[in-house]
Amino acid sequence: MKNLKVFIFSAFALVSAVALRTIQLLFFTDSKTGFYKEGLEVVGTTLMVILVAVIAIASLLIFLFEKKKVNPAPSSSALLGCAALFAGIANFAEPFLGEVSLSSVPPTLLGLRMVLIFASGAVLCWFGIAILFDARLHPALSIVLIVTWVVRLMSSFICFTRMSNISENLYDVLMLISTLVFMLIFGKAICGFSTSETNRKLIASGIAAVLFTAASSIPCIIAYLTSDFAFIHIPVDSPITGLFTAFFIAVYLIDICKNKAEE
């Protein structure tokens, strides 16, 4: 498998990021306000800097090794197809399961957001079916994913103007930005407009998207399941959708880094 060292370090970074964020969330954050507890601001900020640095190193590590030829076109993989399907279904379910209030988002943008989330769910489901049955992928549909994540990011910024939780906002924004960058490069790559340098950026952005999503979503789920941590922050974008999307990205990266020569 190509870039094996990068994936091994990324796995270490994943565990480290989730552990650091969980510690930061449970022990250094005031759940009622979202800010760090009095006297722990420096420690909490230091952990944040370390976490972001670990993720940055993991994502940029691909540029330090010799270039490996990869084919960005997804193969006919059952695991990859199911991952895309699950990500699509999670998008379909998100509008019905979300708890956050989007009253600050203009109605037109809110309606567009809803339509695009359903559309991105349909695109991911089609990608999953196409991969499973080796059908035509229609890569131009990736533009729907790009526009959807742009609108997600816009909606989050609007909602964050009235939310106090600074640290959580940062992780959510980094998750959305890194996933958007991946979607941009992913769309370009599967449409055939890629070079070896583009493919390295694809892997780097994909690793960043997976790690930031894990750091944003998993610690909050752990906090809810393992303690009476009543957290005031409710993410604008469903962490479940984020995790399924991150799983699809991770499986895709592993798939293209298998021993497949670039055509």
DSSP, collapsed to helix, strand or coil, labels residue 58 as: helix
CA dihedral 120, 123, 124, 127 (to 10 degrees): -160
Residue-wise pLDDT tens digits, 1-18: 778 888 999 999 999 999
Rg (CA), the chain: 18
Which of 200, 75, 203 lies closest to 137 in space, CA to CA? Answer: 75
DSSP, collapsed to helix, strand or coil, labels residue 120 as: helix
pTM of this structure: 0.91
Residue-wise pLDDT tens digits, 128-142: 999 999 888 899 999
